[in-house]
Amino acid sequence: MKLHEHQSKELLKKYGLPIPEGYAAFNIKEAKEAAQALGGYPLVVKAQIHCGARGKAGGVKIVKSDEELEIFSESILGKVLKTVQCPSGKLVSRLLIEKATPIEKEFYLSITLDRSNSKILVMASKEGGMEIEELSKEKPDAIIKEYVDPALGIMPYQARKLSFELGLNPSLFGKIVTKLYQAYMDLDASLVEINPLVLTKDGNIVLLDAKIEIDDNAAFRHKDIEELEDITQIDPLEVEAKKYGLNYIKLDGNIGCMVNGAGLAMTTMDIIKLAGGAPANFLDVGGGASVEQISNAFRILTSDENVKAVFINIFGGILRCDRLAQGLIEAAKIVNVKIPVVVRLEGTNVEEGRKLLKESGLNFESALDMWDGAQKAIKLAQ
Amino acid sequence: MSILVNKDTKVVVQGITGKEGSFHAIQCKNYGTQVVAGVTPGKEGIDVDGIPVFNTVENAVKNTKANCSLIFVPPPFAADAIVEAADAGIELIICITEGIPVKDMIPVKYYLKKNYPNTKLIGPNCPGAITPDEAKVGIMPGHIFKKGNVGIVSRSGTLTYEAAFQLSNLGIGQSSAIGIGGDPVHGLSHKDVIALFNEDEETKAILMIGEIGGTSEEEAAEYIASNVKKPVFAYIAGITAPPGKRMGHAGAIISGGKGTADSKMKALKEAGVTVIENPAFIGKVIADAIS
């Protein structure tokens, strides 16, 4: 789960980390109140979206008066901001109004998991402001890495080492690294990224931006953080799917996919592409695939206007094909599906399952295998 | 021979009185697996379809000589269950549980590595391990597997079934099939399982099923290039997955430009692996090549 910059900063403030004074604002009135509370201009106004590269896209502005604040807020609130990282854009429903920080130099600092060795990795660089992906491609030597021993946590010498390499005061920066690691662990984060961290003109260090992502598997012990989720940043169909325990991700194609199991769901998308089509989504209905789940899946798939045909690819294992077929038939009756549906059913009791589908009176096209199914779905979508 | 599980494997099921635990314990037993014990704290003395239940793994091991644990304990308690199994002397721990926080798994992984270097962990968030006609220690449908000589290692459950089914239908059996799971922090890797298949006499060919995210497939490729003489086949799922989106499995995400299907397929091809592009023909490609 992704958090907004202002939410991340509020959480990090509790650890005594140096964050610029600022307030979130959902409308112009709140923006003005924030300006007043901050005691005057210049101020920085930052659009809050779950996406990077906001500055270049015009989502961040320094304002010097009430009038400038109002004009900029008016121009961006409620609009969709497109950045190079999110070409389709994200809705700006809130702003962060902050005191401007006089910047001497920018740095990069992050904490994440390195999956290749299952260790927590602290990364820092003198090249602040650049995206880490670009940096790792263009100047890999500019990234300093420290691995954290799981039993010890980050050690003071590691934080000192990073300070010396970056040329920052070890007593100031060392504390920041230690506290940030503490926050990463406490929050069950999967990413904490400070880009940039800045050295100010008066010699202080400030976390100018902050991005936190929380491990979804740990949500059960962070109910307070779960409530911070901003669903305006997620596709509405994905939000809807989550309610029914469906794992759905919207894509740009026209073949809706309904599959049991994450690996097979990815494979189904791939085989549609291989056959010359374009998948409209990733959808894993899980191992249970109840009538309720299947009917909700049908509803969600077909409410995407781009979808011109549905390809159902089910491998019946423990859950038998005849039960799955019954589920499909009942669900199709509830939802009244109007577009062509291709079903590839395989596995346990497949003959009974196919027979049920054939006798159901539903106009489902049946496929011999995945390849046949993908080809049929593409043809029917034309 | 085969790898990891066989007819002599004695299984204790942790979380046996739960819905999933009891269902699958019975399924495994019906397949012919020696399911000798179950563990649910506070329920010692009862039985599940004739399988005696104990309070602790230690008690289960003492009374039944169990040497393999199959875990269905819910996510908040699963890390504890893995450590309990290891401390009780279990040397093969298979954790089915999906949704364990990464923060819980990191210390467990290092605890096992440091204190029990011979203990093997499979999973979490995996379908388990099967040696056809001998033992099924997991949640896979047993009847789609057939005894034979192809070793399968996979991150994904349904894709393992799909591949095994295609092979079995063409008359090609499997030595063992191991699902290593889809979580970012897990036990045995592709490379570890391939090394076991490489040493196993019964395994004549290896099928590796990977997916986007992480670098497990690339590491396996490196190992294969310098160590494996048996024919290796691979399929990688997720060519169409967009970066930054989690595709069901917590591990299946392309981040920082790493972990794409293309980079994995390239590494495998360079290692001499036959990369299967069309997942509908996994069985056919292998059948054509080895028979």
Task: State pLDDT tens for residues A30-50.
Answer: 999 999 999 989 999 999 999
* pLDDT higher than threshold 80 for residue B181: yes
Q: Which of A116, A118, A266 sits opposite B247 (nearest CB)?
A: A266
User: Amino acid identity of B4?
Assistant: L
Active centre residues of A (catalytic): 108, 193
Each residue of B91-107: pLDDT tens digit? 999 999 999 999 999 99
Q: Which residues contact B219 (CB under 8 A, 6 or more apart)?
A: A116, B189, B190, B191
Contact between B185 and A118 using a beta-carbon 8 Å cutoff: yes
Measured between beta carbons, which residues in chain A are less than 8 angstroms from residue B213? 115
pLDDT beyond 80 at A288: no
Residue B141 to residue A270, Cβ atoms within 8 A:
no
8 Å CB contact of B240 and A267: no
Beta partners for residue B178, in sequence order? B129, B153
pLDDT value of position B71: 98
**Cβ atoms of B95 and B109 closer than 8 Å:** no
Using CA atoms, how far apart are residues A306 and A381, in angstroms rounded to an integer?
10
Please give the Cα distance from A35 to A37 (Å, whole number). Answer: 6
pTM exceeds 0.90 for this model: yes
pLDDT of residue A294: 85
pLDDT in tens, A189-227: 999 999 999 999 999 999 999 999 999 999 999 999 999
In B, which residues are within 8 Å of A133 by CB distance?
256-257
Q: What digits encode the pLDDT tens for the residues B195-221?
A: 999 999 999 999 999 999 888 999 999
Strands A281-284, B205-211: pairing kind? unpaired
What's the pLDDT at A372? 96
- The count of CB pairs under 8 A between chains A and B is 161
Chain A CB contacts of B161 under 8 Å are 315, 317, 347
The per-residue pLDDT for B257 is: 63
- pLDDT at position A158 is 97
User: HSE of A121 in the Cβ direction (CA atoms, 13 Å)?
Assistant: 12
| Cα(B160)–Cα(A264) distance, integer angstroms | 9
Residue A201 is predicted with a pLDDT of 95
- What token pair was written down for B244? 């930054």
A142 vs A35, which has greater pLDDT?
A35
| CATH numeric code, B10-122 | 3.40.50.720
Our CA-based measurement puts residue B91 at a distance from the nearest CA of chain A, in whole angstroms, of 21
Is the confidence at residue B151, as pLDDT, over 80? yes
Tokens of B18: 């739960």
User: Touching check for A261 and chain B: CB below 8 Å?
Assistant: yes
Token couple for A369: 């295998």
Write down the catalytic residue from B24, B186, B190, B249.
Answer: B249
CB contact at 8 A, B211 and B158: no
Give pLDDT tens digits for A160-191: 999 999 999 999 999 999 999 999 999 999 99
Closest residue in B to A184 (Cα–Cα): B103
For residue A279, list chain B residues with Cβ-Cβ distance below 8 A.
240
Q: Write out pLDDT tens, residues B109-136.
A: 999 999 999 999 999 999 999 999 999 9
Regarding predicted confidence, which is higher, A31 or B256? A31
Q: Does A142 touch chain B (CB under 8 A)?
A: no
| Same CATH fold assignment for domains B10-122 and B140-290 | yes
Q: Comparing C-alpha atoms, which of A207, A157, A205 is closest to residue A183?
A: A207
Question: Per-residue pLDDT for A326 more than 80?
Answer: yes
Q: Would you call B154 an interface residue with chain A, using a CB distance cutoff of 8 Å?
A: yes
Residue A144 and residue B87: Cα distance in Å, rounded? 37
Chain A nearest-CA distance from B103, in A, is 6
Phi, psi of B23 (to 5 degrees): -60, -50
Model confidence at B7, in pLDDT bands (50, 70, 90)?
very high
Q: How high is the mean pLDDT of chain B?
A: 94
Q: Tell me the pLDDT band of B256, cut-offs 50, 70 and 90.
A: low
* Distance (Å, whole) CA A82 – CA A88: 6
State whether B157 and A263 contact (CB < 8 Å): yes
Q: Is the pLDDT of residue A318 over 80?
A: no
Whether chain B has a CB inside 8 Å of the CB on A118: the answer is yes
Q: Which residue from A minimizes the CA distance to B110?
A: A150
Ranges of each domain in chain B: 10-122, 140-290
Instruction: Report the C-alpha gap between A177 and A160 in whole angstroms.
Output: 9
- Out of B107, B144, B242, whose CB is closest to A347? B144
Compute the CA torsion angle A211, A217, A219, A222 (nearest 10 deg): -80
Strand, coil or helix: A23: strand
What mean pLDDT, rounded, does chain A reach? 92
Residues 211-240 of A with CB under 8 A from B: 215-218, 220-221
Residue in B270, B268, B250, B274 with CA at minimum distance from that of residue B123: B250
For residue B278, the model assigns a pLDDT of 95
The string of DSSP codes covering A265-325 is HHHHHHHHHHTT--B-EEEE-TTT--HHHHHHHHHHHHTSTT--EEEEEEEESSS-HHHHH
Give the pLDDT confidence of A65-83 residue by residue, as tens digits. 999 999 999 999 999 999 8
Query: Which of B23, B31, B102, B115 to mutate to test binding with chain A, by most A CBs within 10 Å of its CB?
Result: B102
How far apart are the C-alpha atoms of A264 and A317, rounded to whole Å?
13
Q: Is A286 a residue whose pLDDT tops 80?
A: no
Q: How far does Cα A16 stand from its chain's mean position?
A: 27
Q: Which residues pair with A106 in a beta bridge?
A: A198
Enumerate the H helices of chain A as residue ranges: 5-13, 28-38, 66-76, 132-138, 156-166, 170-186, 223-226, 236-243, 262-274, 291-302, 321-335, 350-359, 370-381
pLDDT at position A287, please? Answer: 67
Contacts of A137 in chain B (CB under 8 A): 257
CB atoms within 10 A of CB B255: 18
Query: Is A115 close to B184, i.e. CB distance below 8 A?
Result: yes
Which CATH code for domain B140-290?
3.40.50.261
Q: Contact at 8 Å (CB) between B39 and B57? A: yes
CA distance B61 to A316: 35
